[in-house]
Amino acid sequence: MVHEAAGGRYRVVCRDGSVVDATLRGRLKKRRDRTAQVVIGDEVEVEPAAGDAWVIHRVLPRRTELVRRARGGRAPRTLAANLDRAFAVVAARQPDARLEMIDRLLVLGEASGMHPILVVNKVDLPGAAEVARDLEEFYGSIGYDVLSVSAATGEGLERFREAVCSGSSALYGPSGVGKSTLLNAVDPRLELRTGALSRKTGTGRHTTVGSRLIPLECGGLVADTPGFADVGLWGVEASELERCFPEFAPYLGACRFRSCSHTHEPDCAVREAVEEGPIAPSRYQSYVTLRREAEESSATA
């Protein structure tokens, strides 16, 4: 499995625990499509090359794929493959949790083939416990696991620790919500930099070049990728959006038009479910917003 990727060099940890540094075989390098990129989490086959060098000659099919599709028609980029778990992280306060941001994060997790876990951090702040409780109830009713935690006090961290200490995970969310602080709380040896200003949009002084899977002392692996910071700019294709709202599932296929966008068509089963109650208005509103974004960005592509 690829544990680190930077500038065309890959650190591969083999099943027997040995570690080799490898480059891509030319044939793989030339292919431009997304699946030919090698990313952290990829299962690859390596073979010895000249001297003591190694080359990756094959990438195995991916189980999950965390993909970043930038708005404005730029090519999608895979950030990590085969992760077992995705944690969408927000803060109950500072910055205040907004439903649209939460929905955006959950959609990104779903689009990557992972049913994300919602982590609501900073429950220690004044008024935050109530916010977290409401979010637990709301997103819990849609079928999401919601973990209310405080990286500062350790409250609620047991379940987070249990989940993050097995397999591989990604934490993603806006900057300043406490992702690095959470990981430091689970494994203080990491000493990840924290503070809202430590990693400003790509140009900051602490820009990470490569991506890596950070091994936790307790056994899990956590993806560390520079692109995670600006999730606000991610998008999902219009056609796959409806599948990223799990509570829409019972209604898909029941609209009058097979290609219904669920925004304006008559006899739309999704819109009926919003009117009748099973689909929450805020969720539907997020769908409409993301749908419009997706259409705008494909129009400029």
Ligand X SMILES: Nc1nc2c(ncn2[C@@H]2O[C@H](COP(=O)(O)OP(=O)(O)O)[C@@H](O)[C@H]2O)c(=O)[nH]1
What is the contact surface with Mg ion in residues (CB under 5 A)? 179-180
| 262 belongs to the binding site for Zn ion (CB under 5 A) | yes
Give me the 222-261 binding string for Zn ion, x by CB under 5 A, dash otherwise: ---------------------------------x----x-
Under the binding rule (CB under 5 A), the answer on residue 273 touching Zn ion is no
The angle formed by the CA atoms of residues 121, 123 and 125, to the nearest 5 degrees, is 115
Q: Which is nearer to Mg ion, 89 or 114 (CB)?
A: 89
DSSP string, 74-105: PPPEEEEES-SEEEEEEESTTTTP-HHHHHHH
The two three-digit tokens of residue 294, written as one number: 């997706």
Using CB atoms within 10 A of its CB, is residue 201 exposed (0-12), middle (13-18) or buried (19+)? exposed
Nearer to ligand X, 3 or 93 (CB): 93
CB of 89 to Mg ion, least distance (A): 10
Tell which one of 150, 225, 286, 297 touches ligand X (CB under 6 A). 150
Task: For residue 24, give the DSSP letter.
Answer: E
**For residue 169, which amino acid is it?**
S
Size of the site for ligand X (CB under 6 A): 18
What residues pair up with 119 in beta bridges, in sequence order? 89, 147
Could you tell which of Mg ion, ligand X, Zn ion, none binds residue 222, using a CB distance below 5 to 8 A set by kind? Answer: none
In the complex, minimum distance from the CB of residue 261 to Zn ion, in angstroms, rounded to a whole number: 7
| Strand-by-strand arrangement of the 234-235 sheet | 77-81, 65-70, 234-235
The smaller minimum CB distance to ligand X, of residues 229 and 255, is found at 229
Q: What character string, x for contact with ligand X (CB under 6 A) and - otherwise, covers 177-216?
A: xxxxx------------xxx-x------------------
Select 119 or 270, whichever has its Cβ closest to Zn ion: 270
Q: By CB under 6 A, tell whether 92 contacts ligand X.
A: no
**122 is an interface residue for ligand X by CB under 6 A:** yes
Q: Does 157 bind ligand X (CB under 6 A)?
A: no
Choose the contact partner of 270 out of Mg ion, ligand X, Zn ion, none; CB within 5 to 8 A by kind. Answer: Zn ion
What six digits make up the tokens of 179?
């992702």
Tell me which of 109, 176, 227, 235 binds ligand X, using CB under 6 A. Answer: 176
The string of DSSP codes covering 200-243 is -TTTSTT---SEEEEEPTTS-EEEE-GGGTTGGGEE--HHHHGG
Asked if 255 and 267 count as a contact pair (C-beta separation under 8 A), the reply is yes
Q: Residue 178 binds which entry of ligand X, Zn ion, Mg ion, none, with Cβ cut-offs from 5 to 8 Å by kind?
A: ligand X
Question: For residue 151, what are its two tokens?
Answer: 């990286």
Cis? peptide before 188, omega within 30° of 0: no
Residue ranges binding ligand X (CB under 6 A): 121-122, 124-125, 150-152, 175-181, 194-196, 198
